[in-house]
A and B are shown apart, each in its own frame.
Chain A
């Protein structure tokens, strides 16, 4: 089955700096890669996603890149703000089920 590795597990940045979270996947059949943000005690919320026929996608301060050959994808957050502090999960999917990474706890220091 699919295996998703996510790094780093924790990340601290100063407000205004950029944050990058990286994930690798194992199943070449995976073709959909969402990122979820989960605040403490709340549901995971989809923040951006990308399909395998696209190399990069951007939505305001958030961007995701995908390298299908190397089987890795990354989340980039620019101009970080304190409200970006949360746990971020990457996931990969080939059909219906999502396989998640273990998460990255992002702390944005004011």
Chain B
């Protein structure tokens, strides 16, 4: 499968614990995005990387959230001291710099449940 992949697909954790998600973009894509989707809503932008540089962070991304893309390939999203309000689907997307359009391809998501 040459599409965007995410791991794990599901994560159940207790409030206060830290969690980390991984995203592997399409191999030639240098742009990577994280979105959060709650039930009945559209995805909401969290952050954006071009290669290893994090170029934009949404106000939705509190200090408890941190994202990295150390070698410009895969990315990780860490949530510290999880809260019940963090329960959501976390989606990763990637796009190619050569595109005229900002066509973003999404991964299957990581569903986080905070108890």
Q: Are A43 and B33 in contact (CB under 8 A)?
A: no
In terms of DSSP, what is the predominant structure of the interface of chain B?
A: loop
Minimal beta-carbon separation of A110 from chain B (angstroms): 25
- Bin the interface of chain B by size: 20 to 34
Q: Are B104 and A46 in contact (CB under 8 A)?
A: yes
Contacts of B42 in A (CB 8 A): 4, 6, 89, 91, 100-103
Binary CB contact string for chain A from 95 to 108 against chain B (1 if under 8 A, 0 otherwise): 11111111100000
Q: Are B102 and A42 in contact (CB under 8 A)?
A: no
Q: Are A43 and B108 in contact (CB under 8 A)?
A: yes
Binary CB contact string for chain A from 50 to 63 against chain B (1 if under 8 A, 0 otherwise): 01000000000000
Contacts of A89 in B (CB 8 A): 42-43
**CB-contact partner of B101 in A45, A49, A100, A103, under 8 A:** A49
Chain A contacts to B: CB under 8 angstroms: 4, 6, 32, 34, 36, 42-46, 49, 51, 89, 91, 93, 95-103
Chain B contacts to A: CB under 8 angstroms: 4, 31, 33, 35, 40-45, 48, 55-56, 58, 91, 100-109
